Chains A and B, each alone.
Chain A
Amino acid sequence: MRTERLLIGAGKALAVIAILFWSLFPILFIAMSSLKPGQDIFAVPPKWLFAPTFKHYAELWRSWGVFFDGLLNSFVITLGATLLAIVASACAGYVYSRNSGRWLGASLLGLIIVRLIPPIVVTLPLFPIVNALGLSDTHLVLILLYATFFVSLGTVLMRTFMDQIPRELDEAASIDGASRLTILRKVIMPLAMPGVLAVAVFVIVFSWNEFLFAFIFTATKAKTAPLVISEMIGSIDGVDWGILFAAATVQLVPVLIFVVFMNRYLVAGLTAGSTKG
């Protein structure tokens, strides 16, 4: 009995180590390598102890200014897409939470089904349209695309979270003479903050990291950080890995910190989004 306990304990410990290694090693390895002086990156066997240097970051700053423009573009686009997705999903989620009916049910189901259409499908028709409208290579086109691909999930999430807010609050406010929009803004939204945060986590992570749409619809002005990194990979012969690691680390760290702090909303969103919608 004791030995069995011990064996199970040891097995669990091993499994936990394996899981940690799997999840964190790639991330830690590139972050660490970005701080390694030149040749140490390729040292065989890998060097675990070294004098950290910010040389690659300085080099990145000097020779890849376009990467920092990309970060700024990513920031603007992420912010825009998140605000748009939250406002649109909150309005629709409120309707779906407080009303029911055949048409509403059908339209919600429609939203969910539409979400399953592969994004690459819409790039074909949108490509000429975006060009014709002069929207190619603008922040706006990516903001609209990113927000759109998340409003379905956003609406479902907002509805799920708003369902937990008692209707009596709406009624009380409405008796006091508040309009629907006022009720939504002043009563529902403050209480639906967990839902807003869950939607925000999804849109922010997606918009910050998205590659395909940025690749197809931007060229220079609105190029996002992931796209610049992909160009660095493409010219791998000319670029050294140190700079690439530095860029990847800079792109990754803000959103990683964000996910770490928002993990509970990510989990809440994943479970609500997948099982209820």
Chain B
Amino acid sequence: MLQRTARILPLLAPVHLLILSVIVLPSLYVVWLSLNTSSFGQAPSFVGLQNYWRVLADPAFHSALWNTVVLVVVAVHLELAVGLGMALLFASGLPFRRSLLVAVLAPYAVSEVTAVVMWRFLFDPDAGPITLALRALGLPTLDWSFEPSHAMGLIGLLTIWLHLPFTFVIVYAARLAIPAELYEAARIDGATRWQAFRRVTLPLLGPAMLIALLFRYIFAFRLFSEAWLLTKGGPARSTEVVAIYLYQEAFSFNAFGPAAATAWIMVLASLLLAGAYVLLLRRGGVAHAH
């Protein structure tokens, strides 16, 4: 036993050292920071849960939380719906499927910064081709540079564009894993397309969709770059998301305590979602997803 431990520890060490020193210990230090007032971790004084109350009572935090939740709920579900539609389309047999798949994956290679450059220009109020096209069709355009709700819409669009490849691939792989015989049998039993979808496809894709959702909830909840690069949280903090609120508290207002409290609120929210994932994993529901 001891011998085995001695043999495998050196191989495990690099990963665990990295994780411990870069993520775990710093996260625990954040707990301590959140219970003190300090700027940049200097000259701390213990204040208990005061930072948490301050954050939870801050209207700016409420609006950041609201923006984040709206983004997570609307963008992620839209993304899943589109990803599901695309997965079913691909599975129904398409010519040039391999090349189409590559095209669909392309946004995965694009950085948030470059995506912001693209979408900012496409929706530029004066010269953006999409704005011009919408206007030509008599449709409403996005005034994202001064209308907060429109800016949130653009951030949502951007984040869906960047992450659709992920959601699509997860659902598509699960769809490909459903044996064709099941559809065969359903057809023989006289099931319509819709019934086959309701009774075969949806239940079997359920676990994969749930996993895609959980991952995307967790990742959308920490969204920072898209929103920061597009609006910097403005005008007047109206498009702040939780990660931007944290950044502003820490690095603009030197309020490390409240920032740390915000950080732990984010960790707890993520772990809560992760808990659901682990529960799912334990139940073995995930086995179907592959």
With A and B bound together, what is the CA distance between A88 and B10 in angstroms?
10
Of B14, B132, B270, most A-chain CB atoms within 10 Å: B14
**Pairwise interchain contact B118-A29, C-beta atoms closer than 8 A:** yes
Given A113-B271, A251-B111, A125 contacting B225 (CB threshold 8 A): no
With A and B bound together, what is the CA distance between A270 and B243 in angstroms?
25
Given A124-B256, A211-B225, A248-B117, A107 contacting B16 (CB threshold 8 A): yes
Is A76 part of the contact surface with B, judged by Cβ < 8 Å?
Answer: no
Chain A 154-190, CB-CB to B under 8 Å as 1, else 0, gives 1100000000000000000000000010001000000
Chain B 87-132 interface residues, beta-carbon cutoff 8 Å to A: 89, 92, 94, 100-122, 126-127, 129, 132
**Pairwise interchain contact A124-B15, C-beta atoms closer than 8 A:** no
Please name all residues of chain B whose beta carbon is closer than 8 Å to the beta carbon of A252 when the two chains form the complex: 109-111, 114
With A and B bound together, what is the CA distance between A20 and B101 in angstroms?
10
Chain B 204-226 interface residues, beta-carbon cutoff 8 Å to A: 208, 211-212, 215, 218, 221-222, 224-225
Chain A 241-275, CB-CB to B under 8 Å as 1, else 0, gives 10011001001100110111001001100110011
**Pairwise interchain contact A121-B40, C-beta atoms closer than 8 A:** no
With A and B bound together, what is the CA distance between A210 and B222 in angstroms?
14
Chain A 13-45, CB-CB to B under 8 Å as 1, else 0, gives 001100110111011011001000000011011
Which residue of the partner chain B has the closest CB to A226? B113
Q: Interface size of A by Cβ–Cβ distance < 8 Å?
A: 87
- Which of B18-26, B52-60, B69-77, B180-188 participates in binding chain A? B18-26
Please name all residues of chain A whose beta carbon is closer than 8 Å to the beta carbon of B107 when the two chains form the complex: 23, 26-27
Interface SS of chain B: helix
Is B274 part of the contact surface with A, judged by Cβ < 8 Å?
Answer: yes
Please name all residues of chain B whose beta carbon is closer than 8 Å to the beta carbon of A111 when the two chains form the complex: 15, 19
**Pairwise interchain contact A44-B132, C-beta atoms closer than 8 A:** yes
**Pairwise interchain contact B33-A275, C-beta atoms closer than 8 A:** no
**Pairwise interchain contact A259-B4, C-beta atoms closer than 8 A:** no
**Pairwise interchain contact A209-B170, C-beta atoms closer than 8 A:** no
Is B8 part of the contact surface with A, judged by Cβ < 8 Å?
Answer: yes
Which residue of the partner chain A has the closest CB to B86? A19
- The residue that A114 contacts in the complex, of B19, B221, B286, with Cβ under 8 A, is B19
Given A45-B132, A144-B18, A211-B229, A233 contacting B109 (CB threshold 8 A): no
Please name all residues of chain B whose beta carbon is closer than 8 Å to the beta carbon of A209 when the two chains form the complex: 109-114
Please name all residues of chain B whose beta carbon is closer than 8 Å to the beta carbon of A20 when the two chains form the complex: 100, 103
**Pairwise interchain contact A122-B23, C-beta atoms closer than 8 A:** yes
CB distance from A243 to the nearest CB of B (A): 11
3 tightest A-B CB contacts, nearest first: A209-B111, A118-B222, A88-B14
A-B contact pairs, 29 of them (CB 8 A): A19-B86, A19-B100, A20-B103, A27-B118, A46-B129, A88-B18, A95-B8, A107-B16, A114-B23, A117-B23, A117-B270, A117-B271, A118-B243, A118-B263, A120-B246, A120-B247, A121-B26, A124-B246, A124-B263, A128-B41, A151-B18, A211-B225, A229-B111, A248-B114, A267-B169, A270-B166, A274-B212, A275-B208, A276-B286
